[in-house]
Structure 1
Amino acid sequence: MSEQQRVDLQVPGTDSTLGVIRYGHWGRPVLVFPSEAGSAQDFASNGMVEAVQDLVDAGRVSFFCVDSADAFSWSDNAAPTEERARRHQHYTAWLEQAVLPWIGAQTGGAGLKLMTLGVSLGAYHAVHFTLTHAHVAPLAIGMSGSYDVTSWHGHGEFGDATYFANPMSYVAGMHGEHLDWLRQHASILLTVGQGPFEVEPTKALPSSQAFAELLHDKGIPVELDLWGHDVAHDWPWWRKQMAHHLPRFC
């Protein structure tokens, strides 16, 4: 199975580029985030495209896999959390100003309704993007994610950048018309196992449970799918989880 197309798109305000790889020719577009500090090719190289090859071949889904910028932001544990959150804003700008227009050009543009999908730290990116961009990405699938950025070796003062990058904070603070709008336009699916590495060191299980409860309390559509005590924080299980859920969305 070979990639259809790879492009390298400039990160706004920098001399750097990050890559996007497309798999599939037709179907619902899915914006895919890799695991921590991963790259666009990780999705296919870990068998995720092959796991739903029937959907790709049938023209039901098309994956747009992006590089991460975590090494510069969230994975730089030496930097204070607020600084990491500010650096993350460059990644968001790249997604908004470079990736979305390219996907739009590839898919015909008008009325673009993405699904987002990610594993591990990529689950955070997928869910956070949908919650902040539900007008273009109304559905997120987060697998084995952690959704409180202050728990990621957090230190220093937590300011506005951290707050607005932290789903556990800004969802808790939502109210009024914006919350009402999000209730109508966003939908979140969280999957997580109860086996090896889903509690320690990743905290994916307790974080997914706490975040699902928060979303439910706020009236934002959420589904939490808990897998068994043998289900580990690893690609073989993410392949199974995605293959189980994806057909109903595309």
Structure 2
Amino acid sequence: MQEHYRKWYSHHLGRDIEMLVYGDWGYPVLLFPTTLGRYYEAKDFKLIDSARWFIENRKVKIYCIDSIDRDSWYAKHLHPSVRIQNHIFYDKMVNDELVPWIQHECQVGKIAVGGCSFGGFQALNFAFRHPEKVAHLWSMGAKFDIKSFMNGYYDDNVYFNNPPDYIPNANNDQFYQMKIILGTSEHDFCKPANYAMSEILNRKGIHHWLDVRPWGEHDWPVWREMFPHYLSTI
């Protein structure tokens, strides 16, 4: 299984960004890490191993991007307006720098995005902010309301990055073309958030699969079971 380390300077972030890429060819999957996670997290917790067959058989090419959570959502030393602005710079890096590179490298118009836990929020938020670039969306054990990170602060930037707020009022034909899976499990503390998001999508007529596994908690064994299943739906 081919693994490539990449690093580049992001002009939106003003810093280097690191990434691990698995496979030499296949449909591109952009994977966001969990809370404060790094680009090697999916490897360390064997999520990549669970996808080995798809990578080695050139079905998918997986891009594991770094996070900047320490300077955005979890930067308690910064004012909430700065935290959300830093996330917007991260979103611009992904949308303007990374995804066009992936599209060119894999010769596709749209990509797949996914993530576990907080990475699932990142994936869903990116997909609904930029649906013209996303064909497949998978969240695994995610919650989607980020207002608790803002200490009561609220502005347009928070609104447009809080999916339970902006999705009900958003209209885009591309929403109805995405293949969406909301993954959770019976004892996952994020299960209610997935039911709530599923209801939001149902009210808008956005087709999706609410996948509730009958066992397991909010942890990697469940996500390692989900991930190859979701890859098989491409």
Per the shorter chain, which TM-score range?
Answer: over 0.9
Q: Which residue of 1 aligns with 2:141?
A: 144
**Structure 1 range deviating more: 160-169 or 184-193:** 184-193
Q: Which residue of 1 aligns with 2:183?
A: 191
RMSD of aligned residue pairs (Cα, Å): 1.7
Give 5+ residue unaligned stretches, structure 1.
none
1:162 paired to 2:158: yes
The secondary structure found in structure 2 opposite 1:43 is: helix
1:210 paired to 2:196: yes
Q: Which residue of 1 aligns with 2:114?
A: 117
Matches within 5 A, 1:63-142: 63-108=62-107, 111-142=108-139
Structure 1 runs of 4+ off > 3 angstroms? 77-83
Supply the distance in 1 between the matched residues of 2:82 and 2:211 (Cα, whole angstroms): 33
Write out per-residue CA displacement over residues 182-240 of structure 1, whole angstroms, 9 at most, x where no aligned residue. 34322321001122xx22xxxx1111110111011111222111112x41111111001
TM-score, L = length of structure 1: 0.87
Greater strand percent: which structure?
Answer: 2
CA contact (8 A) 2:112 2:134 kept: yes
Matches within 5 A, 1:8-27: 8-27=7-26
Write out per-residue CA displacement over residues 57-85 of structure 1, whole angstroms, 9 at most, x where no aligned residue. 11111101100111111112454544322
Q: Which residue of 2 aligns with 1:232?
A: 217
The secondary structure found in structure 2 opposite 1:84 is: helix
Aligned residues: percent identity?
26
1:171 paired to 2:157: no
Supply the distance in 1 between the matched residues of 2:47 and 2:13 (Cα, whole angstroms): 31
CA contact (8 A) 2:110 2:135 kept: yes
Supply the distance in 2 between the matched residues of 1:158 and 1:224 (Cα, whole angstroms): 29
Letter in 2 for 1:238: W
CA contact (8 A) 1:116 1:126 kept: yes
Q: Which residue of 2 aligns with 1:220?
A: 206
CA contact (8 A) 2:30 2:114 kept: yes
1:248 paired to 2:215: no
Question: CA shift at 1:144, angstroms?
Answer: 0.5
Give 5+ residue unaligned stretches, structure 2.
none
The secondary structure found in structure 1 opposite 2:182 is: strand
Letter in 2 for 1:18: I
